[in-house]
Structure 1
Amino acid sequence: MDVETAKQYLLSKPETILDFPFGKEVSVFKVKGKMFATLAIGKMGKGDEDGHRDWWMNLKCDPDEAAILRDIFPAVIPGYHMNKALWNTVILDGSIPQGEIERMIDNSFSLVVAKMTKKDQRSILLHL
Structure 2
Amino acid sequence: MELSELKVWCEGHKGAQFDYQKDWDAERYLIGGKMFAMFGHDKTGTPIVSLKCDPQRAGVLREEYEEINPGYYMNKTHWNSLALNGNLPSALIKECITLSYELVFKGLTKKVQHEVVKG
TM-score (norm 1): 0.84
Q: What letter corresponds to residue 7 of structure 2 in structure 1?
A: K
- Aligned residue among 88, 95, 111 for 2:103: 111
Contact 2:32 2:113 in 1 (8 A): no
Greater helix share, structure number = 2
Change (3 A) 1:24 1:85: closer
Question: Structure 2: where are the runs of 5+ without partners?
Answer: none
Q: Which has the higher contact order (CA 8 A, sep 6+)?
A: 2
Q: What letter corresponds to residue 74 of structure 1 in structure 2?
A: E
The one-character-per-residue Cα deviations of 1:20-47 (angstroms, maximum 9, x if unpaired) are 234372001111110011001x22xxx5
| Identity %, equivalent residues | 30
| Structure 2 partner of 1:97 | 89
| Structure 1 partner of 2:7 | 7
| Structure 1 partner of 2:38 | 38
- Aligned residue among 61, 68, 74 for 1:82: 74
Q: Cα RMSD over matched residues?
A: 1.7
In structure 2, the residue corresponding to 1:116 is in which secondary structure?
coil
* Post-superposition offset of 1:123: 4.0
Question: Structure 1: where are the runs of 5+ without partners?
Answer: none
